[in-house]
Structure 1
Amino acid sequence: PAQPTPLLSPPPPATLHYELTVHRRGATLHGAARLDWRHDGHAYELRLALSGPSLPSRSQGSRGHIAPQGLVPDYFHDKGRGEQATHFDREGGRIVFSANSPQATLDAGMQDRLSVVMQLSMLLAADPARFPPGARIALPTAGTRDAGDWVFEVAGAEDLDLPGGRVTAIKLERPPRREYDQRIELWLAPGQAYAPVRLRLTTPDGGVVDQRWASTDRG
């Protein structure tokens, strides 16, 4: 029989700082990233900001509430050269995109592009034995234009030499779902409440955005 899904508890509030490296069109650019995670046990807010001398500033934000099954997003935004937003209309059972894309069905457990990282962290922290190497985790996830299942495969533990020190982390990977989609790699550190200590996005044209953990501010 299938194991019941464990109750998920949010990790303590924290701010994670990263060194940021961007490879694109033959150039390598450097900057910084900051992930702010705030909650009071009921409502949460998550914000990611990227910046650097030669990089356009970009930020993403997610806010919503916390339920026994994890994060329940209400609103997501992605701000770069322009700004796009995703609204989770729970009464109407739909997801509404500011990008004039067709509305999507709001499935149970739906995450956004940012909350999905913390949801994975909470899933692994609740019951690590459920996710051995080769395990697959499917989470319905909404971007700024569409929604669908994001399927992450657990690659296993790796030792990482990061700006903040040597860290053992569990690697998860979501391959591109279709042509012109990104590859997402994520490393969660058991010794840091399964915090994301590295995130790497690879675009179809070979560009890479790599965030590597440097320090953490608690609370």
Structure 2
Amino acid sequence: MKRTLYRNLESMLLATVIATSASATLAQTPAKRSFNLPPSADLNYAINANQRGLPLNGTAIIHWKTDKATYSITTETRAMLLGKILEAKSEGTIDAFGLAPLTSTEKRYRKDPTTATFNRDAKTISFSASDASYPIKGGEQDRNSVVWQLATIARSTPNKFKTGASIPLTVVGQKDADAWVFKVNKAEKIKTATGDLNTIKVSRVIKDGDKDQKLDIWFAPSMEWYPARVRITEPDGDFIEQTLTKADPV
């Protein structure tokens, strides 16, 4: 009789331990989510820039491709007289946080290419241009994928894109990673080669006194939430602005 009671008690304790362990695992693992990514497309842009006091014009093309399980972003920017000034590529998978980069590569004018590698097995981010290393906690983006992660958030969870909302993201550059916060601004109408577009502007929040790169993105809800305009402004006032001229589904 006692042995039977002991066996029953042991079984109950074991079941409790297993249940507790499973609950802890579920609490630590983000729930699987279904993300609504923008459809694959080739996007053409006109470039307007000011670099070291010199005005520059040019073109850019972004190849955005996804099969809902993986993605790739390839960007090529050309300036008049100078030719190709930037090549960038980000590719990865889709996980419980959205876009999950595996590699991000940049090749700037007259500079060697640099690569940030997201080692998902080791849960670390490493860089070809520095000895820095950062842990992967989930949701980290590179500077190419972050625009498309924001578009994916807008399409998947519209309640997070209300005016005044803040969206925190860890953004990986070519040498390090930083905590960025984006603010959703009021709707704006902008002029493009495809006509006037109603857009939602999202801006990186820069604290007073910080000398950080600013990023403004104008998303077009009527065009699958593609970025209709992107403007990068340096602390010294230099900027690069690209405005959509054509979007072709692929």
User: Is the shorter-chain TM-score for this pair beyond 0.5, marking a shared fold?
Assistant: yes
How far 1:176 sits from its partner (Å)? Answer: 3.6
Which position in structure 2 is the counterpart of 1:59?
Answer: 87
> Relative contact order (alpha carbons < 8 A, sep ≥ 6): 1 or 2 greater?
1
AA of the residue aligned to 1:17: N
AA of the residue aligned to 1:57: I
How far 1:107 sits from its partner (Å)? Answer: 1.9
Report which of the two has the higher share of strand.
1
AA of the residue aligned to 1:9: N
Which position in structure 2 is the counterpart of 1:186?
Answer: 217
How far 1:48 sits from its partner (Å)? Answer: 1.3
Larger-Rg structure: 2
Deviates more, 1:134-143 or 1:35-44: 35-44
Which position in structure 2 is the counterpart of 1:8?
Answer: 35
- State TM-score, norm by structure 1: 0.93
Within a 5 Å distance, the mapping from 1:129-140 to structure 2 comes to 129-140=159-170
- State TM-score, norm by structure 2: 0.81
Match status 1:110 vs 2:137: no
- 1:39 to 1:131, Cα distance in 2 relative to 1, 3 A: closer
Corresponding residue SS for 1:122: helix
Superposition RMSD on alpha carbons, in Å? 1.8
Corresponding residue SS for 1:86: strand
Corresponding residue SS for 1:99: coil
Report which of the two has the higher share of helix.
2
Within a 5 Å distance, the mapping from 1:1-219 to structure 2 comes to 7-55=34-82, 56-80=84-108, 81-176=111-206, 179-219=210-250
The count of residues paired between Structure 1 and Structure 2 equals: 216
Q: Distance in 1 between matches of 2:94 and 2:165?
A: 25
Cα pair 2:37 2:155 within 8 Å, conserved: no
How far 1:181 sits from its partner (Å)? Answer: 1.7
Q: Distance in 2 between matches of 1:44 and 1:167?
A: 26
How far 1:82 sits from its partner (Å)? Answer: 1.7
- 1:195 to 1:5, Cα distance in 2 relative to 1, 3 A: farther
Unaligned runs of 5+ in 2: 1-30
1:124-176 deviation digits (Å, cap 9, x = unpaired): 11232332111100111111111122110011210001122110110000034
Q: Distance in 1 between matches of 2:38 and 2:56?
A: 32
AA of the residue aligned to 1:161: K
Among all aligned residue pairs of Structure 1 and Structure 2, give the percentage whose two residues are the same amino acid: 32
Corresponding residue SS for 1:181: coil
Unaligned runs of 5+ in 1: none
